[in-house]
Amino acid sequence: MANLPDHLLWTLLFVLLLSLSRTSSSRTSPSTSALFDVLDFGADPTGAADSTQAFRDAWTSACGRGDFFATVAVRSGRYLLRPVRFRGPCKSRHVSVRLGGATLVAPPDYRVLGGSSSWLNFDGVSNTSVHGGVLDAKGPSLWACKDSGRDCPDGATTLSFTNSNNIRIKDLTSMDSQMFHISINRCRNVRIQGVRVKADGNSPNTDGIHVQLSTNVLILHSDIATGDDCISIGPGTQNLRVQRIRCGPGHGISIGSLARSENEPGVQNIIVRNTTFQGTQNGLRIKSWARPSNGFVRGVHFIDARMINAQNPIIIDQNYCPYGSRTCPNQESSVKISDVLYRDIQGTSASPIAVRFDCSTKNPCTGIRMRNVYLTCLDDEVTRSACANANGEALGTVRPRSCLFENS
């Protein structure tokens, strides 16, 4: 978290500029701030006609004019959008996209988004924020295609930021994404706050928020109900703080899956605190495929979590293989997992094995610490722990009883 003060400073400045831009908007000082209303670029707020080009043009103007603070304003209404890329770098120093009470909807035919990696992609931007709004990607028709076993496109991530710095996503709702809802890839200094994610508990690959190859990321005060991971933390994530999150339905908060490839950057300095998991498949999970990789996970704090009928409240799975045994690598994961703290975790487990540490024989887990963990089973069964190649210590009250190997 070494850079957090910088990030906070930037945020303060941002808020200050926002209020400045509001007070100065009546004066005509285009070099300071300017507003670009998508309606002036031909957007249709009834959702009947396609508004993609209008949004693209409004962005190009806001980005390119060289204002200190430029706003793309989207008034209440429904706007039909195909895949669109908002590219930087911008001449304007700060660009804010204000969606307010607007809903952006994808075309009914899933193939229009299905072949693109993203629906709304911001690439190479700095000092950019997206506020408010509902993003409705109309995912169910693609999920149905995938369920039927027909040949279907992978689907698009609803909102993605790539190669970007100083990003803010606030008070936004994403519903029914085709694939991931929000993805942060190769970014620095990101703050995601007050986000709501909604999708069916059986929708395939609809991770709520995915982060990878990114540094200094905050995810705060969000509510995520979806069919896959609530938050997934991929290779190359450093200095991530997750706080006040409610997950469920879904697969819980996951670090991984790791060891997708042999050469992969590690995950380090992760804090996940004050989370609630309701009816999720997992709670706090670290997962890697069973194959060689130089990836690693180090310095993780899971603090203050409530489990309400989670199937696997605490789990490290280094033999991750969800799609049936024919696809399992059947080797040893060499991802090194160390220094992981579980503190103040309580609630109910839907299965008797409430704590499972299935670590690599090649590279055992070390420095696992449990402190004040209290997990009971719903149907009066006694909860148990299962350990393989897991070293560490238990402190305070720990139930189920720890099976960590205390070798210090």
Residues in touch with ligand NAG (CB under 6 A): 13, 93-94, 126-127, 166, 244, 274
Q: Closest distance between ligand NAG and the C-beta of residue 273, in Å?
A: 7
Please give the Cα distance from 331 to 344 (Å, whole number): 34
Closest CA relative to residue 164, chosen from 104, 209, 216, 199 = 216
Active site (annotated) includes residue 251: yes
Please give the Cα distance from 2 to 5 (Å, whole number): 7
Q: Closest distance between ligand NAG and the C-beta of residue 15, in Å?
A: 12
- The rounded Cα 343 to chain-centroid distance in angstroms is 22
Nearer to ligand NAG, 12 or 144 (CB): 12
Nearer to ligand NAG, 91 or 401 (CB): 91
Give the DSSP letter of residue 346.
E
- Token pair for residue 328? 């399992």
Nearer to ligand NAG, 126 or 157 (CB): 126
Q: Closest distance between ligand NAG and the C-beta of residue 350, in Å?
A: 22
Nearer to ligand NAG, 274 or 351 (CB): 274
How crowded is residue 100: how many other Cβ atoms within 10 Å of its Cβ? 13
Q: Closest distance between ligand NAG and the C-beta of residue 244, in Å?
A: 4
Query: Do 119 and 93 touch, CB atoms closer than 8 A?
Result: no
Nearer to ligand NAG, 126 or 216 (CB): 126
Q: Rounded to the nearest 5 degrees, what angle is found at the Cα of 10, between the Cα atoms of 184 and 2?
A: 70
Closest CA relative to residue 250, chosen from 286, 199, 322 = 199
Per-position DSSP letters for 160-208, written without gaps between them: EEES-EEEEEES-EEES-SS-SEEEES-EEEEEES-EEE--TT-TT--S
Q: Closest distance between ligand NAG and the C-beta of residue 93, in Å?
A: 4
Active site positions, annotated: 251
